[in-house]
Chain A
Amino acid sequence: MANKSGNAYALTVLCPIRGGVQSHTAPLQQQLQTLQVNEQSPMAKVPNTYLCRFWVLSDVPYQGKPGFLDHLKSDYLVFSSNFYGELDPYLEGMWKALETGIRVILSHCVDGDSVSDAESFIEYIKRCKVATTFFFNGSTDEPLAQQLKNLYLKQEFSKFAFENQGKSASDLQAAFRAFVLRTQPDNLDGPTWAAGAYHLDKVVK
């Protein structure tokens, strides 16, 4: 099974949703659809999350005759995440960042109330986890902090190259030294791009 490609991990989780007389699917979807987005997304606080998604699998598709008509007996909350690193530290980081939100979401899932701390959260996820059969990593194999710094440098260096065209050698060298001091290329903590930011005036932190 290929949950990993290089250092990137493909986590796929199917959490069964509480059914019965009062199904929890609709309120769960309502909560998911009204979560904050971009830099205010709760997932922006979870370290090393590249891209992730939530959706509900209510039933399996029917292809028509002569195929069989299958039905699922439960709805499932599908969570898939592409992140850097190993599973346990990632889930620990997720619990640390989002404990309250996780408790709310899992209150709609079967046995979700058994989750009370990071350890039980990791165990719960592993019970709901399905193995990835094939994972294709089309990106770079670096931690998110490095990728965000790279993007910041690309943006700033592109601006620098454009704005300093035609300058004399000494002026250019002086400007480049100032550029290096300002952008601190070795410093992953900052200045850099903020995770999830989607506006030019909010992206640099």
Chain B
Amino acid sequence: MSNIAGKAYAMNAVTPMRWYTAWWNRLFFGIANLRPSTTAGLATLSLIHYARWVIIMPGQFPNLGKGQPRENVKYAYMIFFSNFNGSWNQYVDSFSSAIPRGLDLFWFGSIKYPKSVPVLPFHRYITSNQIWTDYYYNAYPMATSNDVKSAKRIKDALLPFIADSQRESPEEFLQKYNRLLINLQHDISQMGPNPVVSLSASAVERNLGKEREWREKN
């Protein structure tokens, strides 16, 4: 069971909201969908790969028949999924610092939501409503969200540079190459696995590996 895959953390938080105010939340999110500028603050949180909010009204839990009892909950539920880099504390603090009003709008009408500022009650609210991930997959565990974006910038600069520099003299090439490096200086860096920041996390990974090997042999 792990919330971590390489450098990404999977957060799942389930929070109840009054069903009759959930319509307001859907309206706020609808406006955010139509006007991306309303989520400009969110875009500054470059540590996020992807995040989503899913509001499930009381009658909307999937029911497939075959004897499955129908849900009879009083509240609507919002599930928040996030994939981000860095620690849990850094992430929640960043969210609270960058878009405090946005968070308060997103969680408007949620039961006992403490507002995003001050930050400690907000930490406790997320902690008490967070559910652990059973399995998490990341296609590029050695890369942060910023690495993925900077890799695109490098590719976008490199391909035309290669095309333009085919027939140049070495001196002309050197000049253009140096300019390329200056333009990409914020993007050039090497990636690798996370350093060991937690001995207990490393021990968990080792034990999981041993358990898998044992299961395969038996």
Contacts and interface: CB of A to CB of B under 8 A. Distances in A.
Interface of A: 2, 8, 10, 12, 14-16, 29, 32-38, 41, 43-44, 49-57, 60-61, 63-64, 67-68, 70-74, 76, 78, 80, 82, 110-111, 127-140, 142, 144, 146-151, 153-155, 157-159, 161, 168-170, 172-173, 176, 180, 185-186, 193, 195-200, 203
Contact of A82 (B50, B77, B147): B50
B149 interface: yes
Q: Which size bracket describes the interface of B in this complex? A: 35 or more
A151 B54 contact: no
B71 A74 contact: yes
B205 to A, nearest CB: 9
B192 A200 contact: yes
4 cross-chain pairs, A with B, having the tightest CB-CB distances, nearest first? A169-B170, A150-B151, A134-B29, A154-B151
B11 to A, nearest CB: 10
Nearest to A40: B212
Given A16-B64, A37-B5, A176-B173, A70 B75 contact: yes
Nearest to A136: B51
B139 A73 contact: no
Contact of B73 (A53, A72, A159, A170): A72
B140 A148 contact: yes
Given A15-B62, A53-B136, A61-B14, 17 more contacts: A52-B137, A60-B77, A67-B111, A68-B74, A74-B69, A127-B62, A128-B62, A133-B29, A134-B52, A136-B52, A147-B148, A148-B140, A154-B188, A154-B191, A172-B177, A186-B159, A196-B141
Contacts of A146: 155
Contacts of B8: 51
A138 B36 CA distance: 12
B30 to A, nearest CB: 8
B62 A150 contact: no
15 contacts: A12-B79, A16-B61, A16-B63, A38-B141, A49-B139, A52-B137, A67-B16, A127-B64, A132-B54, A151-B143, A154-B147, A154-B188, A161-B188, A196-B139, A200-B192
Nearest to A137: B50
B91 to A, nearest CB: 12
Interface in B29-78: 29, 32-33, 39, 42-43, 45-56, 60-75, 77-78
Contacts of B74: 68, 70
Contacts of A60: 14, 16, 73, 75, 77
Residue among B67, B83, B150 having the largest count of chain A Cβ atoms under 10 Å: B83
A174 to B, nearest CB: 9
